[in-house]
A and B are shown apart, each in its own frame.
Chain A
């Protein structure tokens, strides 16, 4: 079974802090994604990566950056956390030809 693991289930951070969310997948998938999910807004793509060291902006990249130094690991960085970044963050991965995306369990981030 594909496994996508996010480093934390729940996080509470202060405004202005730099926040790192880590994601690891164990199926040698090429593509990795970071989404945020908010009530009424659905899933919104922040960034995705289709190869090591490659990244592309999604729909809402402002205030975020990403890092992919190894194929299995994709990190989301909140440079200076703000209260409007309080959300559920979901990491996903997929293989290039097989298009299904597999999700991690999510990280519920609260910025106070």
Chain B
């Protein structure tokens, strides 16, 4: 079983839809969770960063972590064509840093928002 599983999509939605992107993981030591957005031919940019279980909201974006189910989600409300990108989840255990520093990434979900 891979450490982080993410549906690669592609996912196509109409403008204004609510989008739900998800990752599951197997390592219960993961404590920090991140979502990155990557536009075509660009580097990933950090979108959301959460620690442990719960929700975090930033504008139209909400990150949700359910540690009991080992499941994280990113919700995008009122989706826009400019949200069309690949979204990668990433996570790391609490002792991240120094020689143990290593983020584990999902493979990314490609999202297309149609006008």
Contacts and interface: CB of A to CB of B under 8 A. Distances in A.
Contact of B45 (A40, A41, A56, A103): A103
A40 to B, nearest CB: 7
Interface stretch (A14-22, A43-51, A63-71, A77-85): A43-51
Contacts of A50: 97-99, 101
A73 interface: no
Interface in A44-103: 45, 48, 50, 54, 56, 58, 90, 94, 96-97, 99-103
B43 A97 contact: no
Interface stretch (B14-22, B63-71, B105-113): B105-113
Interface in B34-92: 34, 36, 41-46, 49, 88, 90, 92
Interface residues of B, number: 25
Interface string A14-45: 00000000000000001100000000111101
A106 B101 CA distance: 21
Nearest to B6: A42
B43 A99 contact: no
A105 B46 CA distance: 13
A102 B99 contact: no
A43 B106 CA distance: 8
Interface of B: 8, 32, 34, 36, 41-46, 49, 88, 90, 92, 96-99, 101-103, 105-108
Interface of A: 4, 30-31, 40-43, 45, 48, 50, 54, 56, 58, 90, 94, 96-97, 99-106, 108
6 contacts: A42-B107, A43-B88, A94-B101, A102-B46, A103-B45, A108-B41
